Chains A and B, each alone.
Chain A
Amino acid sequence: MALPQPKADATAARTAALRMPEGAKWATAAREEALSRVNAMGLPGRRDEYWKWTRPESLVAPDAPEAAVFDAGEAPIFGEIDSVKLVFVDGVFDPAQSDDPSLGGVEIERLGDAAAADIHWAKDLFGVLEARGQSPVPRTLAALNTAFAAEGVVIRATGKAEKPVALVYHHGAAASDAMVHHCIRVESGAALSVLESGPGASRFSKVMEVEVADGGRFDHIRVQGRDHERRTMTHVFARLGAESVFKSFTLTMNGVLTRNECVIEFTGDEGVAHVAGASVGDGDFHHDDTVFITHDALDCESRQVFKNVLRNGATGVFQGKILVKAGAQKTDGYQISQALLLDDDSQFLAKPELEIYADDVACSHGSTTGAIDETALFYLRSRGVPKAAAEDLLVLSFLAEAIEEIDDQGIAAEILSRLEAWLARRR
């Protein structure tokens, strides 16, 4: 079916502004297939149901809008953690600022090097999970990223990684349009932890394809920087084998537009996937968590916990779906999305969905929007805690369920302190 003309025009205008990187045959083939997906599906527009609440224009426009580079004046969030640090500036790998990418039990390469090799394991992943994730809902910006992203890393864990890989994304030029694409494979019984931080660019598109083989474990902690004007579009595509564990937590502070899509598929029995997010926004802030989890195996557990704190006209969006296919018995699915509105001007839009074709499952979902609980506030104040401090305590209390999804206590404490500082700056 031909695309509507405005969508076809917007898609053509965007792709015309981009150049496909060179690579080996397999990589070029994967990119060309991705480009044909882009042309077939068309880039998102206002009329698309999946973009009902988040306007995609600025993500689709040929030129990236400018964003002032923001100096937070604070230490990098994962700076104290012993990690292999890989730094990207406006989406371009910067070897000078990065650590030597050697880590026991882990292979790390630049996407460009992997894509130039005639034979490479990443061939089975690059664009493959993204393509699988295009149904039932098109995610054309992810296909666009596969087609054109020149940078990124491919990481393969064959054992238990001694330390995390920290991907740091600096924003350099006021107008910068970055596309980064990572492929991660955690082999059977292996374990890897990836930390991500920073705004990336004025417009940042990032795709991460993650395959966790049987019995593997992948931990992901992401902090999306405090830059107010940045625009970020991310996709995580994960395919999980039997008895594997996938855990992802995202902290988002500020940002004029952030859309984080996460697409997870259980293909082996007894897998576990937890996706959580805490986002805090003030004023010109639009945050969108869009999650799609497909249970296609027995006895898997998925958990989605998303919390938004919104003030001064900020907007939060949640679109979350649990799809349980016929035969995916004993599925345990949980989904909660909540917003705490600190004033009457902010809004939260949520579309929680369950679609279940198996008869022996336990799935629940809930979504709430509310203000600070007056009874709790009075309780704290009656103990002598001043109003402002009591409100901050209740905001942190609201976010607690999401933060509890972080297993590493040191990281959880650091995230908590960043949130406390965010609140304190608004006093």
Chain B
Amino acid sequence: MLKISNLHVKLEEEDKQILKGVDLEVGAGQVHAIMGPNGSGKSTLSYVLSGRDGYEVTEGAATLDGADLLEMEPEERAAAGLFLAFQYPVEIPGVGNMTFLRTAVNAQRKARGEAEMSSTDFLKEIRAKAKELQIDADMLKRPVNVGFSGGEKKRNEILQMAMLEPKMCVLDETDSGLDVDAMKLVADGVNALRSEGRSFLVITHYQRLLDHIRPDVVHIMADGRIVKTGGPDLALEVETNGYAGILAEEA
């Protein structure tokens, strides 16, 4: 599904290398977690995959089902099936949540040469999916993320994911700023979307999110590289020994 090889990335505006050769392969239907200390390059990886400006790939490749992600515009990556759940979802005043989602759904369909979704079908689907995530009608009508609590914003990200039906979902610190109940709700939403054809890359500092979203593979990232890969137990090891312990072990 997602294949990253020897990815080197630096900031465009300063000569600072952030990713120093990332290798990662996520198979179809798998859930991979990336853990790592602050500044290890986790969020940068998510931004580079989704095409945010400000980064320069100096070496390496990233493909989604064989297609070169790095050559595509952000909207093309989305249409190809990539989704990034933001750590800080953006507020967009004056644009209704539902209007925005419908625009996005139909833009992706159009880009893939598919028929647009009728407003009736869209409404039916979004209502059902919103209900599962405990998102009420008012939240659907309100401007995108405006006045939403931290939990509501993250649930809204998962709702977008559910509506856009991507094949590769990258979750960037989705647990940040969430209380235990909110995290469980978000995790349930993600779990409901797990399927054979859909893969996840879950970026997090803490092991607790992984109690709810059980990963198949856990990677530890440090200083722009994946330094250790293991099963779900690796996350527990982080919890017990901290990153310092693991990094010392690897050094």
Contact = CB atoms under 8 A, between A and B. Distances in A.
Interface string B99-113: 011011101100100
B95 A396 contact: yes
Given A385-B103, A385-B104, A379 B92 contact: yes
Interface stretch (B11-19, B35-43, B72-80): B72-80
A382 B78 contact: yes
B104 A384 contact: yes
Interface stretch (B21-29, B46-54, B233-241): B46-54
Interface string A384-427: 11110110011011111101100000000000000000000000
A385 B75 contact: yes
A384 B78 contact: yes
Given A389-B103, A389-B107, A400-B143, A382 B84 contact: yes
B104 A383 contact: yes
B243 interface: no
Interface string A359-387: 00000000000000111101111111111
Interface string B51-91: 11100000000000000000001110111000110100110
Given A378-B53, A382-B78, A384-B79, A397 B93 contact: yes
Contact of B164 (A383, A393, A397): A383
B90 A379 contact: yes
A403 B79 CA distance: 32
Contacts of B92: 376, 379-380, 393-394, 397
A396 B92 CA distance: 10
Contact of A384 (B53, B75, B94, B143): B75
B204 interface: no
Contact of A386 (B50, B83, B107): B107
Nearest to A402: B94
Contacts of A380: 92, 100, 104
Given A374-B53, A397-B95, A401-B93, A384 B86 contact: no
Contacts of B51: 378, 381-382
B164 A398 contact: no
A130 to B, nearest CB: 36
A389 B102 CA distance: 13
B160 interface: yes
From B100, B101, B160, B164, name the one whose CB has the most chain A CB atoms within 10 angstroms. Answer: B100
Contact of B95 (A374, A382, A384, A393): A393
A376 B92 CA distance: 7
Nearest to B99: A393
Interface string A226-239: 00000000000000
Given A378-B52, A379-B89, A400 B94 contact: yes
Contacts of B53: 374, 378
Interface residues on B, range: 20 to 34
Given A382-B51, A393-B100, A399 B79 contact: no
Interface residues of A, number: 26
A227 to B, nearest CB: 27
A383 B78 contact: yes
Given A387-B73, A396-B94, A401-B94, A379 B78 contact: no
B94 A398 contact: yes
Given A378-B52, A393-B95, A394-B92, A387 B75 contact: yes
Contacts of B101: 383
Contacts of A381: 51, 73-75, 78
Nearest to B90: A379
A400 B108 CA distance: 25
Contacts of B89: 379
From A381, A383, A400, A401, name the one whose CB has the most chain B CB atoms within 10 angstroms. Answer: A383
A374 B101 CA distance: 19
Nearest to A394: B92
Contacts of A387: 73, 75
A398 B94 CA distance: 7
A403 B73 CA distance: 32
Contacts of A397: 92-95, 143
Contacts of A385: 75, 100, 103-104, 107
Contacts of A396: 94-95
A12 B193 CA distance: 78
B117 to A, nearest CB: 13
A395 to B, nearest CB: 10
B93 A384 contact: no
A382 B50 contact: yes
B168 to A, nearest CB: 13
B90 A375 contact: yes
A258 to B, nearest CB: 24
B171 to A, nearest CB: 13
From A389, A397, A398, name the one whose CB has the most chain B CB atoms within 10 angstroms. Answer: A397
Contacts of A404: 94
Interface of B: 50-53, 73-75, 77-79, 83-84, 86, 89-90, 92-95, 100-101, 103-105, 107-108, 111, 143, 160, 164
Given A379-B86, A380-B104, 20 more contacts: A380-B100, A381-B75, A382-B83, A383-B160, A384-B79, A384-B105, A384-B164, A385-B100, A385-B103, A385-B104, A385-B107, A390-B75, A393-B100, A396-B95, A397-B92, A397-B93, A397-B94, A401-B93, A401-B94, A404-B94
9 contacts: A384-B78, A384-B164, A385-B103, A387-B75, A390-B75, A393-B100, A396-B94, A396-B95, A399-B94
Interface of A: 373-376, 378-387, 389-390, 393-394, 396-401, 403-404
The 4 closest A-B pairs by CB, nearest first: A400-B94, A384-B78, A384-B108, A381-B74
